[in-house]
Structure 1
Amino acid sequence: DFLKGLPSYNQTNFTRFHSDSGVKTTSRRPQVYLPTTDHPSEQVITTEKTNILLRYLHQQWDRKNAHKKRDTSRANLDDDDDSGDLTPPKKVPRLGQMEEGNST
């Protein structure tokens, strides 16, 4: 009695349905992946510890700032070419800080 008034029991609801005009299904077997190279069995799958969102953002930031890094490295190379020495300059302590430290 409960299912009596449901539309699935009314045949007029399915007058436009034609089973043969729909998508035809084929009985072919699905394609199977066949590897062309033999991978070593001792491969270990590991997960990265960094979050995928953080990794993506860092990659975008690196791509965005890559040209800036190249420009500064070229400027440093131009300065170094004048001196002929490719070693970075040595750090020299500030004289003002040395005097203040000795006076107290």
Structure 2
Amino acid sequence: MDRNKRVAEMEAILNEHTDAVKAFREALAAFEKAQVAYDKLDAYYSSHDWFDDVEAYDKGEIKVDCGVLTEDAVYDLIGDNYEMAKEMIRLANAIFQKH
């Protein structure tokens, strides 16, 4: 490979990864901020309020969107959140191993 081609390739990698780091940093900040609300949802899902709200829904007393009262929607989000955390740890470990 000639020198110009190699440098151009490395420049492209630098620029692409710089953009990826910036985008990930922004996404991570948004994800971290969302965790505060997620923790509230997680606590609600295992509370008496959730069970009371499901009962009220079954009686027709709830008239708003209520996907949160299905077991699958919140359960799936809890699993996705957990898997995301594992993936972040895996990626962080891979990066740490190289340094």
Q: TM-score, normalised by structure 2?
A: 0.32
Q: Which has the higher contact order (CA 8 A, sep 6+)?
A: 2
Larger radius of gyration: 1
Higher helix share: 2
